[in-house]
Amino acid sequence: MVSVLSSLFGMEHIELAEDIVSDTFLAATESWSAKGVPENPTAWLYVVAKNKTKNWLKRDNFFQQQLLTDLRRNTPEGEEIEIDLSERNISDSQLAMMFAVCHPSIPAESQVALALNLLCGFGAQEIADAYLTTKTVIYKRLSRAKEKLKETKIEIQPPTAHEIEERLETVLKTIYLLFSEGYYSISHNTVLRKELCVEAMRLGYLLVEQPLTNRPAANALLALMCFHASRFDARMNETGEMVLYEEQDESRWNRELIRKGEYYLNRAADTPVLTRYHLEAAIAYWHTHKEDTAEKWDNILDLYNQLLILEYSPVAALNRTFALSKARGKREAIREAEKLGLTDNYFYYSLLGNLYTYIDDKKAMQHYQTALQQANTPADVALIEKNIGQIRRRLSE
């Protein structure tokens, strides 16, 4: 609704759009708590939002003097100003808002926050909880970004072919970061983490359902998110501890999401150009096969090799080394891992601890203890302590 009303009023009046939508939900809270939830809550919200918008247009002096004149200029004579909250227009408006949020003038860190706020309905406190920062920090970030949207006079309209070419990579990256924040978040708020992932997937789906943005890279990103999300519930046990891939209960994997991931990965294959999303989606696909086969790990290793050539990152390098240990053995992986020298990364020491386990348990213990000193999340601390405990028991036997 914010996207639709912002498209109608213009980005410079985005606060008015947000106020109307906030009033709509406040009315829902008051009415539904007294009378119960209506049979069609969505339709109820849309009707109330339309009525509140019309009331604004009638009574507000600014609307009467300036904005209403502009709106009537674009409306055929004799016809009422249309507030189109159809499913198609909502999708079109959200797509337009997505590309507006990812305008080059908006800092990258603010793009994700704006997407959460304007496209997903998250408040400043919820965004602060997701990023483990304060509401004040997020509020300032959102305010500055919205002011930049106004100053730049960005219009919320269907992106042109040129804008899609120019900004699609930024849009995809924003969605990728949003999903990653949910999937790899250090927050213990499982509901919030899932909501971040679900919203990222919804935005990804919005892209592939629109002809102009239904690109192979967008399908690859959606496939990647489906594969990862399929194992979401298996990654934590009942006490909130991280469960390693090898120990996950396969029966808790979501098979429907795996099938959807395969569908979108097949759609993504229609291109001569491979992106990081293609390679990461293919890696995630192989991880939906639990069996430890040579074919599986050879393929994963090859995909990581391609990914590092295309776009190097320390995380990918560490993951590639783990795949190497599965495909070629721990000793070769240790040699490769020690070349990385990522001494400021506790995942590096955790990996070395894993690789040295059963080869040199004393060295494995040393690496795990270093990782423990650097770890910054309760889940990682618990996992490292569990590994240290297992090694300590073996050494004492």
Q: By C-alpha distance, which of 352, 345, 288 is closest to 325?
A: 352
- Tens of pLDDT, residue by residue over 63-80, are 555 555 554 445 555 445
- Tens of pLDDT, residue by residue over 297-309, are 999 999 999 999 9
In the predicted structure, residue 191 carries a pLDDT above the cut 90 = no
pLDDT at 246: 87
pLDDT at 380: 82
Type of residue at 368: Y
Pull the structure tokens for residue 292: 């430890």
Burial 66-77 (b: 16+ CB within 10 A, else e): ebbeebeeeeee
- Tens of pLDDT, residue by residue over 10-64, are 777 788 888 889 999 999 999 999 999 999 998 899 889 888 887 877 765 555 5
In the predicted structure, residue 341 carries a pLDDT above the cut 50 = yes
Answer with the residue of higher pLDDT: 109 or 82: 109
The pLDDT-based confidence of 213 (bands split at 50, 70, 90) is: very high
Q: By C-alpha distance, which of 203, 194, 215, 206 is closest to 278?
A: 215
In the predicted structure, residue 152 carries a pLDDT above the cut 50 = yes
Q: What is the mean pLDDT of residues 84-107?
A: 82
pLDDT at 132: 67
pLDDT at 78: 46
A 10 A CB-CB count for 37 gives 11
Q: By C-alpha distance, which of 277, 283, 275, 281 is closest to 245?
A: 283
Q: Where are the domains of the chain?
A: 1-85, 88-214, 216-270, 341-397
pLDDT at 52: 86
pLDDT at 283: 97
In the predicted structure, residue 188 carries a pLDDT above the cut 70 = no
DSSP SS3 for 318? helix
In the predicted structure, residue 275 carries a pLDDT above the cut 90 = yes
In sequence order, what are the beta bridge partners of 228? none
pLDDT at 63: 52
**CA 243, CA 148: separation in Å to the nearest integer?**
43
Q: By C-alpha distance, which of 229, 281, 231 is closest to 251?
A: 231
